[in-house]
Amino acid sequence: MQNFEYCTPTRLIFGKGVIEKLPGVMAQFGKKILLTYGGGSIKKIGLYQKVLELLKGFEIVELPGIQPNPKYDPSVLDGVRLCKEHKVDVILSAGGGSVLDCSKAIAAGACYEGEPWDLISYKVQATSALPIVDILTLAATGSEYDCGGVISRTETNDKIGYIDPLLFPAVSFLDPVYTFTVSKGQTAAGIADAMNHILEQYFCEDATLMNDGFCEAGLKSLMVNGMKCLENPEDYTARAEMMFVCTLACNNIMSLGNSESGWPMHGIEHALSGYYDITHGWGLAIITPRWMQHILSERTLPRFVKYGVNVFGIDTSLDPWEIARKAIEETYKFFESIGIPMHLRELGIDNSRIDEMAHHVAVNEGLENAYVPLTEQDIRKILIKSL
């Protein structure tokens, strides 16, 4: 077991109707709020109106229009400018992971005099950040309980995971009812994203029994409850458990003491959404079985057998290689069964930029140190198999 430090300072307020606590929570941080949101879903579900009604006594500045795969320019830059101009005390993010990730970069940028990209690209370490409160409307990323935000810079095809303990949300409101309206496609993407967060932690050299059990239960819960959410989008129990597992899946709590895996599938997917602006969870679902096939070897076989037996209930009397291959096949079939297009070509990606993306990943993602080290050539092969 490896040494570790763990601290998640985020207060989770979970369940139906918890939004009523919003005024009391916001009052702890001040009077001037930057309200961030996306393309309008919060208005359709009545959350925008509810927030304004609850926060009548506060001064609210708005940053609307944050896109999926949030962009540095204009969203982060506009948010930082608004915070500085209005001397904002606290950011309130209402939406999915993209709105929250963008809010995290704004929170740090607002307390820094230079170009915010210096922070996101790790050229400069932030020394402070504005507090962030979020109301989550989509279960997927776990951004509500972690200290990372992923920001895209269109002109350079960069999609960077900006991680800093200063970026943990102070408070996350998690009401599963707000996720009832999430489309089937985005629900499936959320299931795949959270499953992949767990797989990125599960596939490592040195793992504890406790963590393996935690991860296996998380994967099974996401498959069972995710499927129920797709069948009946207003199934509160299923939406609630899915939201809860997604929240736990990305803050490392499921792999404390395990060895590092290097998160290789995320490294590769960030290039796909950086170059082609595709939905993150779909990209991951496509990469996952191809990465699995690529790294299956004598060394990794026992891990795949454990995964196949404990997650998919594959017959233990079969040959280990057969169990491993079936486990990969089951993974593929599950993603396909929830409606995810399983080939990059279906998302408009052909082979014209594969070499460029493989190079970008090899240079920027450090995958030579992953659980199974990946060279530029390995990354290229995985991308080609995914076409």
Task: Write out the residues near ligand NZQ by the rule CB under 6 A.
Answer: 38-41, 45, 68-69, 95-99, 101, 137-138, 140-143, 146, 148-150, 178-179, 181-182, 186, 189-190, 193, 250, 266, 280
Minimum CB–partner distance for residue 169 and ligand NZQ (Å): 10
3-state DSSP call for residue 269?
A: helix
- Residue 346 in tokens: 């279906």
Rank residues 138 and 362 by Cβ distance to ligand NZQ and give the closer one. Answer: 138
For residues 173 and 47, give the distance between their C-alpha atoms in angstroms, rounded to a whole number: 12
Rank residues 192 and 305 by Cβ distance to Zn ion and give the closer one. Answer: 192
Asked if 193 touches Zn ion (CB under 5 A), the answer is yes
For residues 56 and 15, give the distance between their C-alpha atoms in angstroms, rounded to a whole number: 23
Element (H, E) at 266: helix 264-276
- Which H, E and C letters describe 15-41, residue by residue? CCCHHHHHHHHHHCCCCEEEEEECCCH
- Phi and psi angles of residue 149, each rounded to the nearest 5 degrees, phi first: -145, 140
Applying CB under 5 A, the span of 39-47, 101-109, 188-196, 294-302 interacting with Zn ion comes to 188-196
265 binds, among ligand NZQ, Zn ion, none (CB under 5 to 8 A by kind): none
Rank residues 2 and 181 by Cβ distance to ligand NZQ and give the closer one. Answer: 181
186 binds, among Zn ion, ligand NZQ, none (CB under 5 to 8 A by kind): ligand NZQ
Minimum CB–partner distance for residue 69 and ligand NZQ (Å): 4
DSSP state, 71? B
Minimum CB–partner distance for residue 341 and ligand NZQ (Å): 16
Rank residues 99 and 229 by Cβ distance to ligand NZQ and give the closer one. Answer: 99
Q: How far is CA 197 from CA 80, 176, 186, 194, 215, in A?
A: 29, 20, 16, 5, 10
Rank residues 302 and 339 by Cβ distance to ligand NZQ and give the closer one. Answer: 339
CB of 36 within 8 A of CB of 106? Answer: yes
